[in-house]
Amino acid sequence: MAETDWSEQGLCRTADPDALFVEGSAQNRAKALCSGCVVRTECLAYALDQRIEFGVWGGMTERERRALLRRRPTVTSWRRLLETARMEHGRTGAATTAVRQAS
């Protein structure tokens, strides 16, 4: 699978592209959309590994991702870490579980 093939399955593919690049309380609506997305894990891993600085990706705001990256500076592949978590905890909760463990 190519690095971004997952994006074709994202719930946001038909949403307004700007809806994920919002600030303040509007980010909660964007995060709610991500919570039901089947590629949340892949999306979050991509954003963390690519150090994407703007927007909600995989249910996390840029601020939350920055904090996570600061807390776990030794993680070299978020994709590998989150895929491992998915194998251990199932698809739906992998991103949430991995982030919780990383905290």
Binding-site residue positions for [4Fe-4S] cluster = 12, 34, 37, 43
Choosing from 19, 21, 22, 33, the residue that interacts with ligand SF4 (CB under 6 A) is 33
Residue 77 backbone class (left: φ over 0; alpha: ψ -120 to 50; beta: rest): beta
Contacts by 73-80, CB closer than 8 A, 24 or more apart:
75/48, 75/102, 77/49, 78/44, 78/45, 78/48, 78/49, 79/42, 79/45, 79/46, 79/49
* Residue 94 lies near ligand SF4 (rule: CB under 6 A): no
Listed in order, strand segments (DSSP E) in 2-103 are none
**x-marked contacts with ligand SF4 along 55-84 as a string, rule CB under 6 A:** --xxx-------------------------
Length of the chain: 103
Q: Which range binds ligand SF4 by CB under 6 A, 6-14, 21-29, 66-74, 79-87?
A: 6-14
Task: Please answer whether residues 39 and 69 qualify as being in contact, where contact means their C-beta atoms are separated by less than 8 angstroms.
Answer: no
Using rule CB under 6 A, residue 45 touches ligand SF4: no
Residue number of the CB atom closest to ligand SF4: 10
The residues that touch ligand SF4, with contacts defined as CB under 6 A, are: 7, 10-12, 20, 33-34, 37, 39-40, 43, 57-59
